[in-house]
Structure 1
Amino acid sequence: MAEGFLDGSKRGEAIEEFGSICFDNLLSRSFFQRYHNNDSQFVMHDLIHDLAQFISKKFCFRLEGQQQNQISKEIRHSSYVWKTLKAFKKVESFFDIYSLRTFLALSPYYDRVPNFYLSKKVSHGLLLTLRCLRVLSLTYSDIKELPHSIENLKHLRYLDLSHTPIGTLPESITTLFNLQTLMLSECRYLVDLPTKMGRLINLRHLKINGTNLERMPIEMSRMKNLRTLTTFVVGKHTGSRVGELRDLSHLSGTLAIFKLKNVADARDALESNMKGKECLDKLELNWEDDNAIAGDSHDAASVLEKLQPHSNLKELSIGCYYGAKFSSWLGEPSFINMVRLQLSNCKNCASLPPLGQLRSLQNLSIVKNDVLQKVGQEFYGNGPSSFKPFGSLQTLVFKEISVWEEWDCFGVEGGEFPRLNELRIEYCPKLKGDLPKHLPVLTSLVILECGQLVCQLPEAPSIQKLNLKECDEVVLRSVVHLPSITELEVSNICSIQVEFPAILLMLTSLRKLVIKECQSLSSLPEMGLPPMLETLRIEKCHILETLPEGMTQNNTSLQSLYIDCDSLTSLPIIYSLKSLEIMQCGKVELPLPEETTHNYYPWLTYLLITRSCDSLTSFPLAFFTKLETLNIWGCTNLESLYIPDGVRNMDLTSLQSIYIWDCPNLVSFPQGGLPASNLRSLWIRNCM
């Protein structure tokens, strides 16, 4: 069909273009396969995928690791998936393909990506010979600098150097007038951009988040085609003023403006025309000045006032702001799309703006404030009689508000936070007033180090997770009114030994219990644990000596036990355990049956013993027939792993991993070797 419409040359160009599209889709498929491992994520049907491979095979090529395929000189688009350090030398195979348009260096790893060595010879060779490149990606390589010869790539449109240790970019990069995308995310050694960056007038996407830039180069205002600018750093005496953002009217997505302390005149902030940037979704305003003096607060307030964003904004973060009050626009109902707001280290603001008026707000964090004493009615805002503040709020965080004493709750029918799922109040040592009375859909409540808070917990019939640290006994006692709790963590509560046993028996839905640093805890209740409890963690309770034998008499659900208590001497037999971790319990004895026919651990699959069980000299593998992973660290008296003579024919088919570290007296394994046919990992270190 193509012959009827296109002559030979144009047909070739069309096929190449289609091949390029196919190649992009192949890369997309490869990406999804590595990162999602789920066929439902694929955007291409297998038949279409095969067709794309067939059509594009002449022009597109994917090289993986040590693959030895012959590389055709006709290819136009190539990716290289490296798998070993030395494999990157195969990049030199591309030097003879002078018409290559695309070169992408990819990593096969999705969880942690190492930097791979890229010699100067290779990087220089790429730039000197592949002059037709449109797309070049060297992300995650260990490239530290680009040669001046980057200017040879006159056709380059896309350059990705993100996640590399590159420290500088040559000025010659500013001659790449066709460049549309420059990716420098997480280049943490990069402190400056080329001084003539403004010459790249066709640049549309500049990602520089995660860098350590000290300033923006001058004439950024010339880059009027920019759609993406993740970061703008205001220079003090050199570099771009914040006003140069004025003509970047197409900015979208995320923009973070740092070092606003360097704005010399609030009129410059007004000139930036933030209110006109209607495509921005997320804005961060940061002064980065912990040493500002009181006289500067008026200047900071004026700058913030002039930086009012467009009402389309969805997320706003204000950090290190040292003005004495927030701007009048913050909290205006006109911000109908605002879903997330964070006020961090606004240390001089003695009152909060009317944030309850933001009807779409879902996530609110107020972190670090040195003068806020009361959260009052101004926080909720004003409205008609039917007005209900925070109608959409789902997460609310107050953290490190050092002098906060009182929370004046709004008290409307149905609760002032009708959709609040999570409430966190952390490190507010002077808070002593009430909390909201009724939170109908709250599922998670965290109260940390609020030592003067003496009140009942809110009525929360849907609550599932509760975390209390350094709270008064009144707060602890009110837990009994929250019977739906499934996860409970208590830390550093002095009255726990008196109050806790009775409370615990009433939490019949509890599935996870964590007890930390409770120095009065000497024992758990003899009458047993909640019947549905599956996970128990006890950490740093230094006077706890025993766990009672009968603690699981009403519980057959306990599957995971983690214990880290240096005075503990004994553990009960818990047949239902699947995971057992014993940390820093030198005095404890591991419960073992006298006969191999009696199995105390019929379901245990994971065992970790760290600097514990000093009396253990021989570890009897025969009692752990379902064990999959065995970790033994720092058990100084351990001498051997053994299997009794009477069970020589046993097969530890479940055992897959053994890690033994810092056991200096270990001298032997079972005679004849380990009967573990599925063992995959065996690590023995510092065992002499």
Structure 2
Amino acid sequence: MPSQMSRLKSLRTLTAFVVGKSTGSTIGELGELPHLGGKLKLQNVVDVKDAGQANLKNKKDMKELEFEWGNEDSDDSAKVRDVLDKLQPCMNLEKLTVKRYGGTSFPNWLGDCAFNKIKVMRLEGCHYCFELPPLGQLPALKELFICKMKFLRTLGLELYGQPFQPFQSLERLEFKDMAEWEEWIPSGSGGLDFPRLQELILEKCPKLRGNLPCDMPCLKKLSVEGCGVLHDQRATATTSTSTSLNYNSLQELEIKDGCQTAILSLLETKLLSRLKIRNFNDIQCLPNINRLQHLILWNCPTLSSFPKDGLPTTLTSLYIINCKRLEFLPHEMLAKLTSLDYLTIHKSCNSMRSFGIFPKLTTLNIGYCENLESLCLIEEEGAVGNLSLLNNLDILGCPNLVCFPQGGLPTPNLTQLEFSRCEKLKSLPERIHTLTALERLWIRNLQNLESIAEDGGLPPNLQHFRIENCERLRASSSSVGDHCNWGFQALVSLKYLNIGGRGSDEILETLLKQQLLPTTLRSLWIEELSTLKSLDGKGLAHLTSLQELFISRCDSLEYLPGEALQHLTSLQRLEIRCCDNLQFLPEEGLPPSLSYLKIFKCSGLEKRYQNKTGQDHWDSISHIPCIWINDEVVI
């Protein structure tokens, strides 16, 4: 910090104070600032006398303090403890954070019940402390976060302190990265150790064994991750003690990364509404969970079946990711999920070949379902399923998908539609032009796609259209009436067009040559067109609403149409990336509206413009307020 900070007698706010190794202010100068308050972070305080002179005890307006040291190693643990002792704050403090403290124990003031306004406490990276201070004595403490205390092996009576009922106000408790922690001992006081705790998070405590605290009547969320030897009290309790267990308020349960199967007994909790199971190897069948609303199953390789009675009708969102042995719900069970709003299936349910009935979804994501062949959407009686609420449909990586419902998708309110990496797909759904609510259409990596809108054109209200790596697709004239090139001219709402990859060179050339791009276009992205040598100026000149032009990885591009670019009176941003054959920007100059130009990894342009050489060429772009070449601002 600058020297002579103590002269700022009226200073009220100082967010951080870093003690330098040589010159500058010392922490003791804070003692001369009586009005200092709010939030303060102190770093690298190592001098005991200096810490005492800071006089934090008398900073009555100080609400938040953070003590941090750059290196927790210390040859003198007693000295480090004395420094923290001298940094004792005022009793009005509400939030305290201690990071990388190098002592083996904490000073007595930390956990003193006289600090009756502290609501949040964080102890991080205090590696050499083998026990915690009596934080249970802090009457107002609501949030406690303990992280990376690698020498702590037991949480015992010292944590709870003297009062009959510890942690009277604690609502959130989190332990993270506790590599050596083995045992969690209850207070034995006869009362509840955590009477108001609502959220408990245990993450990466690999040696913690035994039981969770057995009585937490207010607990709403429990998250257990990377605690491979932890047992739930319910799994080991005898009949005589099982009636005292209390998790009856639990609503949200997360089990991740190598936890014991015993934790699953908590699924019996009656109020459970959110369940997330991730990276779990020892579960084969889900039990019945009556009130579940949100279910996430992620990387559960042994899971093979849902409950026999099906999933609860209260379910609103369902994610199934990387559960390849899991058999999908029969159609009649799926139809009962009338509340289901969001469904994602990725790398799961490999035996599934089609969907026959769908619930009332708003979002459906299907990814990497290897045997999926058809998206039927038709009930057994022949009536179209109810999809009036569906607004987002994404299908990714389904190599055997070949067909859609005859007559098109019965999704009148669909706003987003994406197909990607479906190798056998030759055409998009019929009558796609009838999807009048569709705003975004992405088709990517469909190597056998031959047609997309030959029976009426693209949806009329499309705003964002993306074509990428559809090598057999051609923008050819339709035989129906005057429609041409998927009805591009009728897309009066189109604002964003992304076109690139294999097969897209000819599509772009056709759109430009026949001047089919709508005047409403605001953003044009051209990427990975290997044979494109120049842009047809006639097809660009009329785009008076275009604000952004992005050209990337077009290896053969040699020429940009200067006269046409001059007509782009709304163009503000131009980016050219990885186009080594492009040697010049247009001699006619770029439009005066341009405010941002970026050239990245274009060797020819770099040589010509990076050092502002060639006055004639530089003058053509010097009016642009911001010019980037690679990662350097040139102007």
In 2, are the aligned partners of 1:511 and 1:534 still within 8 Å (CA)?
A: yes
SS in 1 for 2:307: coil
User: How far off its partner does 1:513 sit?
Assistant: 0.8
Query: What corresponds to 1:386 in structure 2?
Result: none
- The alignment yields a C-alpha RMSD, in angstroms, of 4.7
SS in 1 for 2:414: coil
Matched, 1:184 2:123: no
Q: More helix per residue: 1 or 2?
A: 1
CA deviation string 1:290-326 (max 9, x = no partner): xxxxxxxxx94xx367546543444334452625555
Shift of 1:176: 5.6
TM-score (normalised: structure 2):
0.70
1:488 paired with 2:400, answer no
User: d(CA) in 1 for partners of 2:233 and 2:245?
Assistant: 18
Map 1:58-137 → 2, pairs under 5 A: 61-64=12-15, 73-75=33-35, 77-80=37-40, 95-100=54-59, 102=62, 104=64, 127-134=84-91, 135=93
- Return the alpha-carbon distance in structure 2 between the equivalents of residues 277 and 528 of structure 1: 58
Q: TM-score, normalised by structure 1?
A: 0.66
Q: Which moved more, 1:538-547 or 1:622-631?
A: 538-547
Give, in whole Å, the separation in 2 of the partners of 1:215 and 1:315. Answer: 28
Task: Report the counterpart of residue 252 of structure 1 in structure 2.
Answer: 219
User: What secondary structure is seen at the aligned counterpart in 2 of 1:200?
Assistant: helix
1:423 paired to 2:383: no
Q: Are 1:607 and 2:545 counterparts?
A: no
Retained in 2: the 8 A contact 1:394–1:421? yes
Give the deviation of 1:199 after TM superposition.
1.2
* Aligned residue in 1 for 2:480: none
CA contact (8 A) 2:131 2:158 kept: no
Q: Which residue of 2 aligns with 1:562?
A: 498
Which residue identity lines up with residue 553 of structure 1 in the other structure? Q
Identify the residue that residue 518 of structure 1 maps to in structure 2. Answer: 446
Structure 1 residue 515: deviation in Å? Answer: 0.7
Residue 404 of structure 2 aligns with which residue? 475
Change (3 A) 1:198 1:464: same
Hey, what does 1:638 align to over in structure 2?
Answer: 582
Please state how far the C-alpha of 1:560 moved relative to its aligned partner: 0.7
Separation (CA, whole Å) in 2 of partners of 1:176 and 1:209:
14
Query: Aligned runs of 1:234-249 on 2, under 5 Å?
Result: 239-242=208-211, 245-246=213-214, 248-249=215-216
Helix, strand or coil: the match of 1:280? coil
Partner of residue 571 from structure 2, selected from 627, 639, 643:
627
Residue 448 of structure 1, aligned match among 367, 371, 387: 367
Where in structure 2 are the equivalents of 1:537-686 lying within 5 Å? Answer: 537-544=466-473, 550-551=485-486, 552-570=488-506, 571=508, 572-573=511-512, 574=517, 575-589=519-533, 591-593=535-537, 599-612=541-554, 614-617=556-559, 620=562, 622-642=566-586, 644=588, 651-652=592-593, 655-666=594-605, 667-668=608-609, 670-672=617-619, 674=621, 676=623, 679=625, 682-685=628-631
Find the counterpart in structure 2 of residue 277 from structure 1: 247
Distance across 1 between alignment mates of 2:101 and 2:561:
54
- For residues 133-178 of structure 1, the C-alpha deviation after alignment (integer angstroms, 9 at most, x for no partner) is 4547576x9x43443474153445456447x6x2626236425664
Give, as a single letter, the amino acid of the residue that structure 1 aligns with 2:84: L
Letter paired with 1:379: G
2:537 is matched by which residue type in structure 1? P
- Residue 25 of structure 1 corresponds to none
**Distance across 2 between alignment mates of 1:286 and 1:273:** 28
Q: Map Cα deviations across residues 36-55 of structure 1 (whole Å, 9 max, x no partner).
A: xxxxxxxxxxxxxxxxxxxx
| Aligned-residue offset at 1:245 | 1.1
* TM-superposition CA deviations, 1:113-140 (whole Å, max 9, x none): xx9985779998972432134547576x
Partner residue in 2 for 1:24:
none
In structure 2, the partner of 1:400 is 322
Q: 1:462 to 1:522 in 2, by over 3 A?
A: same
Residue by residue over 1:55-112, the C-alpha shift from the partner in whole angstroms, topping out at 9 and shown as x without a partner, is xxx9994335799999864447431489xx99xxxx9899244423645369xxxxxx
Residue type at the aligned position of 1:394:
T
What SS does structure 2 have at the residue aligned with 1:199? helix
Whether contact under 8 Å (1:206, 1:230) holds in the other structure is yes
Q: What is the deviation of 1:507?
A: 3.2
Instruction: Describe the shift of the 1:556–1:192 C-alpha distance in structure 2 as closer, same or farther (beyond 3 A).
Output: farther
In structure 2, do the counterparts of structure 1 residues 350 and 447 end up closer, same or farther at CA, with 3 Å as the change threshold?
A: closer
Distance in 2 of aligned mates of 1:250 and 1:433 = 46
| Conservation of the 8 A alpha-carbon contact between 1:546 and 1:568 | no
Shift of 1:416: 1.6
Matched, 1:352 2:310: no
Question: SS state of the match for residue 251, structure 2?
Answer: strand
Show CA shifts across 1:167-197 (max 9, x none). 6262364256644456437x5x555646345
Q: Which residue of 1 aligns with 2:282?
A: 322
Aligned counterpart, 2:381: none
Kept after mapping to 2: 8 A contact 1:432/1:454: no
Q: Following the alignment from structure 1 to structure 2, what is the Cα–Cα distance between the partners of residues 62 and 445?
A: 50
Match of 2:185 among 219, 222, 225: 219
2:390 alignment partner, one of 463, 479, 496: 463
Give yes or no for contact 1:463–1:485 (8 Å, CA) kept in 2: yes
Answer yes or no: is the 8 Å Cα contact 2:376–2:404 preserved in 1: yes
Per the alignment, residue 331 of structure 1 pairs with: 289
Aligned partners of 1:658 and 1:681 also within 8 Å: yes
C-alpha change, 1:230 and 1:564, in structure 2 (3 Å) is farther
**Separation in 1, partners of 2:144, 2:179:** 14
SS at match of 1:466: strand
**Structure 1: how far apart are the matches of 2:348 and 2:32?**
67
The question of whether the paired residues in 2 share the 8 Å contact of 1:124 and 1:149 is answered with yes
Aligned-pair identity (%): 18
Q: Which residue of 2 aligns with 1:288?
A: 258
SS at match of 2:490: coil
The aligned counterpart of 1:371 is: none
8 Å CA contact 1:605, 1:629 repeated in 2: yes
CA distance 1:130–1:395, shift in 2 (3 Å): same
Q: Which residue pairs with 1:144 in the alignment?
A: 100
For structure 1, the residue ranges without an aligned partner over 5 or more in a row are: 1-57, 107-114, 290-298, 355-377, 381-388
Q: Distance in 1 between the 2:596 and 2:68 partners?
A: 29
The secondary structure found in structure 1 opposite 2:154 is: coil
Q: Secondary structure at 1:208's aligned position in 2?
A: strand
Unaligned runs of 5+ in 2: 1-8, 19-24, 45-49, 161-165, 379-384, 478-483
Once structures 1 and 2 are overlaid, which stretch shifts more, 399-408 or 510-519? 399-408
User: In the aligned structure 1, how far is the partner of 2:228 from the partner of 2:244?
Assistant: 14
Equivalent in the alignment of 2:174: 208
1:585-626 deviation line (CA, Å, top 9, x unaligned): 23225534269xx83331111222221263235574634432
